[in-house]
Structure 1
Amino acid sequence: MSVHETPDPSRRSRKIRAVLAGGLVLGVGAAITLAAWNDSEFATGEFSAGAFNLEGSVDGTAYDEHASEAAAAPLSFSVDASNLSPGDSVSASFAVRLDEATTYDAGVIVDQAGTSGTVSGLTYELTTTDGFGCDSGTASSLVDAGTAVGSTDANGAFDLVSGAEGVDGAPVNLCFTVTAGDDLVQGQSGTATWEFLAESQA
């Protein structure tokens, strides 16, 4: 007759605790292993603003900034614009470009910045020319002939292209032609200022 031993409850409990303890040890070991496989990558960017500057010239060679109405470049007309009579027309050349530091192309709108004195009886036309000078050949009309001095029309817009790094952009050459009408008043005197408003095409 065989005798069955009754398991000692305390001994069984010790085995379970040992297994659980082993499991806890394995769990801690697994967590450490996972942490050892963590890795990171970092990326950084440097940000700098571009440059944008419009400049003009009354001789096609020397360019400078004329950033306000008070600092406007004085146009040099082909004949004496201070002694007009009805039917007379006078012309003056101007050029604009983006300077060598500019990093964006531009869209330019021609606007009438203001007048002083009396400019009634005067109309003008603004054209682009193939080279600098009103006798260089007309490329296109920006402001139609017959536009009253002191106003603009919807055609007065063109584009400028920036140059390569450290190089001035290609100029757009312009010609203003002012014509005196029959209603010009003897002895009248006035000035007109135009603005070339450039906006970057970034």
Structure 2
Amino acid sequence: MVTKDRKRKTLAVLAGGLVLGVGVAVTLAAWNDSEFATGTFTAGSFNLQGSTAGDVSANYSDHNVDTGGTAATLAFTLPTGVVGNMAPGDAVYAGFWVRLAPGTTTGASLSAAGTTTGAAATTNSGNLSYQVYQLAPGATCNAASATGTPVATGATMDAQTGVTAMTLTQGADAATAGTAVQLCFKVTAGTALKQGVATTTTWKFTATSTS
């Protein structure tokens, strides 16, 4: 027969065991750890320059009428005269060089992107046609070199057809300009050319980065 004192001691031991079990449970914990990654994204640079005075670095500048600048003035010349004396059948020629500016970080595709000229009613825009040729390095823009397949043509000065893209390469480093491309403009007077009328045409060329 279990006495009351022994029963009380047994209950006390069981109770103590229960308390000890709870104490072990609350000491358990979960492990955790974290990893972080960061990235920096720097945009490249892109700039097209033009020159009407030859492939010399000092001659290049920006001519962008879309951003408030002015177009480069092409120096057209007749084989044996000046552009101010055009007559039906005459053709005049002018060279224009384009390149990617120093600091440009990608190559580009260059394409003729249309013309702006005066109204046919008051100018000779409808009585002049043009072709633009890509010349070999060092060539002179004249009747002898303006041959082959043009990169842009217009049956009138306000039209453009036959556009062919050209490749522009960036410089070898940030301080070096890209390789220049020379464009040769040929403008021919039609048989209906009106006397004493001046016609001003602006050509647009757009370079699009290739990477």
- TM tier, smaller: 0.7 to 0.9
Distance 1:149 1:22, change over 3 A: same
Given that residues 132 and 151 in structure 2 are in contact (C-alpha distance below 8 angstroms), is that contact kept between their aligned partners in structure 1?
A: yes
- Deviation string 1:105-133 (CA, Å, 9 cap, x unpaired) is 22222123411351221101011011253
Figure out how many residues of one structure are paired with residues of the other and give that number.
Answer: 194
1:105 is aligned to: 107
**Superposed displacement of residue 189, structure 1:** 1.1
1:170 is aligned to: 179
**Superposed displacement of residue 16, structure 1:** 4.4
Distance 1:18 1:128, change over 3 A: farther
CA distance in 2, matches of 1:21, 1:161: 81
CA distance in 2, matches of 1:20, 1:201: 76
**Superposed displacement of residue 184, structure 1:** 0.7
TM-score (norm 1): 0.82
Which ranges in structure 2 are unaligned for 5 or more consecutive residues? none
Q: Amino acid of the residue matched to residue 8 of structure 1? A: K
CA distance in 1, matches of 2:89, 2:172: 45
1:55 is aligned to: 49
The percentage of aligned residue pairs carrying the same residue is: 35
Distance 1:26 1:120, change over 3 A: same
Equivalent positions of 1:8-27 (< 5 A) are 8=7, 11-12=10-11, 14-27=12-25
Are 1:75 and 2:74 counterparts? yes
2:97 is aligned to: 95
**Superposed displacement of residue 17, structure 1:** 4.1
Equivalent positions of 1:145-160 (< 5 A) are 147-160=155-168
**Superposed displacement of residue 140, structure 1:** 4.7
1:30 is aligned to: 28
Are 1:183 and 2:192 counterparts? yes
Given that residues 129 and 174 in structure 1 are in contact (C-alpha distance below 8 angstroms), is that contact kept between their aligned partners in structure 2?
A: yes
Distance 1:9 1:180, change over 3 A: farther
Given that residues 115 and 157 in structure 2 are in contact (C-alpha distance below 8 angstroms), is that contact kept between their aligned partners in structure 1?
A: no
3-state SS, counterpart of residue 22 of structure 1 = helix
3-state SS, counterpart of residue 83 of structure 2 = coil
CA distance in 2, matches of 1:201, 1:16: 82
CA distance in 1, matches of 2:148, 2:61: 24
Distance 1:43 1:189, change over 3 A: same
Q: Amino acid of the residue matched to residue 136 of structure 2? A: D
Which residue, out of 37, 40, 44, partners 1:46?
40
**Superposed displacement of residue 20, structure 1:** 3.8
3-state SS, counterpart of residue 100 of structure 1 = coil
**Superposed displacement of residue 53, structure 1:** 0.8
Distance 1:181 1:40, change over 3 A: same
More strand per residue: 1 or 2?
1
Farther off after superposition, 172-181 or 43-52: 43-52
Which ranges in structure 1 are unaligned for 5 or more consecutive residues? none
